[in-house]
Amino acid sequence: MFAASFDYHRPRTVDEALKLMREVKDARVLAGGHSLLPAMKLRLASPSALIDIGRIAELNGIRAVKDGVQIGALTTHAAIASSDVVRRVCPVLADTAAHIGDLQVRNRGTIGGSLAHADPGADYPTIMLLLGATLTASGGKPRDIAAQDFFVDLFTTALKPGELLTSITVPPTGAASAVYLKHRHPASSFAVVGVGLLVEMRSGKFSDVRISIGGVTVTPVRAKNAEAALTGQAPSEENIAIAASVVADALENPLGDTYASGGFRVHLATVMTKRALTQLAWKAR
Amino acid sequence: MASRILGSAIKRREDPRLITGQARYTDDFVLPGMVYMSVVRSPYAHARIRGIDSSRAAAMPGVLGVFTGQQMKDAGFGPIPCAWVVPASDTKTPPYPPIAIDTVRYVGNAVAIVVAQDRYQARDAVEAVEVDYDPLPVTVDAFKATQKGAPQLHADVASNVCFHWKVSGGDVEAAFRDADVIVKDHIINQRLIPNAMEPRAALAQFSSASGEVTLWSTTQNPHIERFLLSIDTGTPEHKIRVIAPEVGGGFGSKLPHYPEAAMTIFASKMVNRPVKWTETRSENYHSTTHGRDHIQDVEIAAMKDGTITGLRARVWANLGAYLSTAAPGIPTILHGLMLSGVYTIPNIHEDVFGVFSNTTPVDAYRGAGRPEAVFMVETMVDRLARELKLDPVDVRRKNLIPPFQDGYTVATGLVYDSGNYEGALTKALQMADYPKLRLEQAEARKKGQYLGIGVCTYAEICGLGPSQVAGAVGFGGGLWESAIVRFHPSGKVHVMVGISPHGQGEETTFAQIVANELGVGVDDVEIMHGDTDQTPMGWGTYGSRSTAVGSGALMGAIKKIKEKATLITAHLLEAAPEDIDYADGKFFVKGSPDKFKTIQDVALMANVAWNMPKGVEPGLETSSFFDPPNFVYPFGAHIALVEVDVETGEVALKRYVAVDDCGKVINPMIVEGQIHGGIAQGVGQALYEGAVYDDQGQLLTGSMMDYAVPKAENFPNFELGMTETLTNVNPLGVKGIGETGTIASTPAVYNAVADALAPLGVKTLNMPLTPERVWRAIQEARS
């Protein structure tokens, strides 16, 4: 566990960080360090330099904005889990953050680091896709990226070289109910499968259904067929079963490892979607 | 007063230093001029080494030297010896060079070492050593490795079969011929990674002036380590000092004599500096010994009423690429001889093939051999019960050895010391309320919930053991223990022991014994261990032997203290020695308890020696060696309740009841702690853990991100009970308790899951019982 040597920079402002990102070759941005440092210690990553954004105050914090809640990229999972604003505006996000890794991970790991790393087993990508969050990047011209466009491939995002994820804006869940279910890997605690569900009911029927699934494919995906099968339908056991049966449509080329094969992950996603729907349908009654 | 100390749950004196960070582990030691070693390891599971170019590495900053296996050999360092060659098994012992010279045989095999000023420089230089490999075909499976056409690991080991060992008792052919029913299974007792919290480390200091070597090492047995180092390093035994400072768990994985110990000594000689090596967790996964890895074909013969008449098995035990220190003894003596379990099975036969493969060497892991026997027997008993539609508890009762106090000979020839298996089972069933559990299970099934109840009744062989037997079964050492009890003038006590505890708590329990026997305070006693220069010869801590054997030596030394104190007291009180009695720390004249000397009075007089009896030497210090007449056989009954989610295959452990009998209990809190940890590790094997290699010998579970060690959240509160059946093998009547939890909990939990799934028609399940495996087994049964 001994990393190769590297230079270390600690910018105080986003502008300083962006300047370093432009100027230092083969550098990596260090946030909470929970993915990058282990990779460096195993020599799976050997950046020439680290740009530690950990002291940039403007990247940290949670505030209510008119279209939801804005969360600085450096905000820790623990801060999100315990934030009154998040819990009021978007409780499912607070619940999700509260169940990431363990206490030490939640105290150090950051939302921006997790999203920019885009691990398929991470929880935030699935939730951001579910909630239709907007990710804001600086560098070049500041721009907003919709969650559905942000996750491109395994460990690959829409961020361009020189761009830094600065904040995430999550819309309020409002009258909708949402839940995130996770099948934890027994060793790593990452999501083998994570299912995010958001439903809104009107006159006893599903008026809005969103299902997002992480852990199974290289990026989280929406189970569009299942969503369509439920929209406008009553939350009956039968309708839920029909929807669950088409969850797999969205899960092409599933990932597998020694713990869970791709096929089993698809099965878990199906069962967990059914359970999430049953849970929220029950609550809505 | 005295009786309160023995059997009292006093807090472990080891813990304050451990939980405040004051404990000093091998890696904490820093010596003047110390430098660091890092090991170049093979990325191939099997390859010929065509060449090693270390020129670039040698020129890097801080590098003092890069050394190869050939250089080590040229410096007089020999192959790593195997210390347990089982007789009548035609065991092959191919050379095990500490650093590979021409061939690597597993991923992680050492190829070269780098010595540098700091750890980072050493690691950087490792990357720069260029090794030219010519990859060879790979075999990783113990059965496949024996088949025609399998790649051969060692030139003189045909079909990779290191040994073929047999055990027989009774007439097994007749048993199977006359059986009403025969039940068979093919069991994979999977490979496990021991995962001691502290990784291995070694710090060697060679003095060119004196020729002496001091080695700080994460070993469970410093005296054995010294003995074996004297064989392979060419340093005479009296010039070697091995120190095992705080050792952070071992579970058997720190029992072997490892190449890295010899390497650091070699490196220290080459650079004339103290050299330290501490493994990374990745290195630990690849180069510290693994455990288990059996393929077992087993069948039992029985009558319709559930009476078991025979057991027959063929076992392929994976030894890994080389023979580790104790490797051959584990799947043979510690496994095959225990196939009767707690039952009166009269006819037994087993063939065990020890097999080389392109994997990390396999050696002892908590339970070492007994889990592989108990799992086999206990899951087969449940299989038989299902076949005969009998309650598994009834089948057990039908076959249990009746209570005995003075020895019971089983079919394999072992003589169990004492046991009351029915008693432990009855107690466990009462604690679990077994009939009620069965009713709950039936109710739950009506609601579509799948509860499973698993029972395991076990006995195990530990407290290793009589030295004469050690010799007879091919163990290359003795198995006695030693102790020195030294009273200081003020009545305080130092005790030096040959065992080397590393988490088991003997500093506390041994102090309790001394306090109990001699009437000093527990805090007046200091227990010293783990340094070959400061402690008497002993054979170390493994096989649940430290208290079972070590306390025998301690009791012997205490007896001699009492004898000498009696002489001194008699002299001081002007009485005859035969008129002196002892109770509660006082030596007194029989019939006149007010005429007495305390042990402290005696200690002072013995040390100042102003007025000693004629012919009695000054000082109050005795030593004793204890060689037990037999092994000890702790036993018990465990019951697990699980719920299986048949949609996802997830298994939840709902309740766990354990009744264990380790004879006399010295400290119930420490006993319970041992049982807790043991259960957790055993459940780990049942549900979570398993080392997986791919066909090319790459370890797919190479880190804690993939290899699942159980977490506290996986367990309910354990419900523990004890029975106390003394042994007459040692003075206190104690049996070992270090491994029982691991031995019993794996089959208990497995049986519970199998019980839950039986109504679904599930017949075959392999550990670990991960959700996917359970789910697939259900799907197969349904289709």
B6-57 per-position pLDDT tens digit: 999 999 999 999 999 999 999 999 999 999 999 999 999 999 999 999 999 9
Pairing of β A7-9 and β A49-52: parallel
- Mutation site for A-interface testing, chosen from B648, B683, B687 by largest number of A Cβ within 10 Å: B648
Long-range CB pairs of B563-569 (<8 Å, 24+ gap) are B564/B606, B564/B616, B564/B620, B564/B622, B565/B597, B565/B599, B565/B602, B565/B606, B565/B620, B567/B613, B567/B616, B568/B597, B568/B602, B568/B605, B568/B606, B568/B612, B568/B613, B568/B616, B569/B596, B569/B597, B569/B602
- CB-based contact, B127 to chain A, within 8 Å: yes
pLDDT for B71 beyond 90: yes
User: What is the predicted pLDDT for the residue at B476?
Assistant: 93
Least CB–CB distance from B700: residue in A183, A258, A261:
A258
Backbone angles phi, psi at B520, to 5 degrees: -100, 165
Average pLDDT over residues B750-774: 97
Average pLDDT over residues B379-406: 98
Render pLDDT for A64-114 as a digit per residue (tens, 0 to 9).
Answer: 999 899 999 999 999 999 999 999 999 999 999 999 999 999 999 999 999
pLDDT for A34 beyond 70: yes
- Mutation site for B-interface testing, chosen from A2, A5, A275 by largest number of B Cβ within 10 Å: A2
Q: Quick one: angle between helices B370-388 and B392-399, nearest 10?
A: 120
Residue B40 in contact with residue B34, Cβ under 8 Å? no
Pairing of β A27-30 and β A49-52: parallel
pLDDT for A190 beyond 60: yes
Q: Is the ipTM of this complex over 0.90?
A: yes
Token pair 């009292």 is found at B8
- CB-based contact, A261 to chain B, within 8 Å: yes
pLDDT for B416 beyond 60: yes
pLDDT-derived band of residue B312, with 50, 70 and 90 as boundaries? very high
Distance of CA B484 to the CA centre of its chain: 25
pLDDT for B561 beyond 90: yes
Q: What share of chain B is helix, strand, coil (3-state, %, to 5)?
A: 35, 25, 40
Contacts of B448 in chain A (CB under 8 A): none
Q: Which amino acid is at B473?
A: V
Average pLDDT over residues B349-355: 98
User: What is the predicted pLDDT for the residue at B694?
Assistant: 98
Per the CB < 8 Å rule, is B776 touching A264?
yes
Nearest C-alpha in A relative to B702: A258
Render pLDDT for B256-293 as a digit per residue (tens, 0 to 9).
Answer: 999 999 999 999 999 999 999 999 999 999 999 999 99
Q: In chain B, positions 704-763, which contact chain A (CB-CB < 8 Å)? A: 704-711, 714
Cα distance between the two ends of chain B? 67
- CB-based contact, B770 to chain A, within 8 Å: yes
User: What is the predicted pLDDT for the residue at B1?
Assistant: 42
Least CB–CB distance from A261: residue in B119, B280, B772:
B772
Q: B465 to chain A, minimum CA–CA distance in Å?
A: 37
pLDDT for B2 beyond 70: no
Q: Residue B501: how many CB atoms within 10 A of its CB?
A: 26
Average pLDDT over residues B370-397: 98
DSSP assignment of B616-642 equals PPSSEEEEEEE--SS-B--EEEEEEEE
* H/E run at residue B132: strand B130-135
User: What is the predicted pLDDT for the residue at A284?
Assistant: 72
- Average pLDDT for chain B: 97
Average pLDDT over residues A238-264: 97
At residue A34, the 3 state secondary structure works out as coil
Q: B308 to chain A, minimum CA–CA distance in Å?
A: 37
- CB-based contact, A104 to chain B, within 8 Å: no
Render pLDDT for B487-538 as a digit per residue (tens, 0 to 9).
Answer: 999 999 999 999 999 999 999 999 999 999 999 999 999 999 999 999 999 9
pLDDT for A250 beyond 60: yes
Q: Which amino acid is at A65?
A: V
Give percent above pLDDT 70 in chain A. 100
Average pLDDT over residues B378-399: 98
Render pLDDT for B703-715 as a digit per residue (tens, 0 to 9).
Answer: 999 999 999 999 9
DSSP assignment of A260-274 equals --HHHHHHHHHHHHH
Contacts of A188 in chain B (CB under 8 A): 704-706
Give percent above pLDDT 90 in chain A. 97
Beta bridge partners of A198: A178, A210
Nearest C-alpha in A relative to B647: A271
Per the CB < 8 Å rule, is B688 touching A258?
no
Per the CB < 8 Å rule, is B772 touching A271?
no
Contacts of B192 in chain A (CB under 8 A): none
At residue B574, the 3 state secondary structure works out as coil
User: What is the predicted pLDDT for the residue at A140?
Assistant: 79
Per the CB < 8 Å rule, is B282 touching A42?
yes
Q: How far apart are CA B682 and CA B743, in angstroms?
A: 7
Per the CB < 8 Å rule, is B708 touching A43?
no
Average pLDDT over residues A17-33: 97
Contacts of B647 in chain A (CB under 8 A): 271
pTM of the model: 0.97
Q: B699 to chain A, minimum CA–CA distance in Å?
A: 11
Average pLDDT over residues B609-636: 98
Average pLDDT over residues A35-39: 95
Per the CB < 8 Å rule, is B648 touching A183?
yes
Per the CB < 8 Å rule, is A1 touching B775?
no
pLDDT-derived band of residue A283, with 50, 70 and 90 as boundaries? confident
Average pLDDT over residues A208-212: 97
Least CB–CB distance from A186: residue in B119, B281, B708:
B708
Give the burial class of B781: count Cβ atoms within 10 A of its Cβ; 0-12 exposed, 13-18 middle, 19 or more buried.
Answer: middle
User: Which has the closest alpha carbon to B167: B88, B53, B268?
Assistant: B88
User: What is the predicted pLDDT for the residue at A141?
Assistant: 86
Render pLDDT for A112-155 as a digit per residue (tens, 0 to 9).
Answer: 999 999 999 999 999 999 999 999 999 978 999 999 999 999 99
User: What is the predicted pLDDT for the residue at B3?
Assistant: 57
Q: A251 to chain B, minimum CA–CA distance in Å?
A: 18
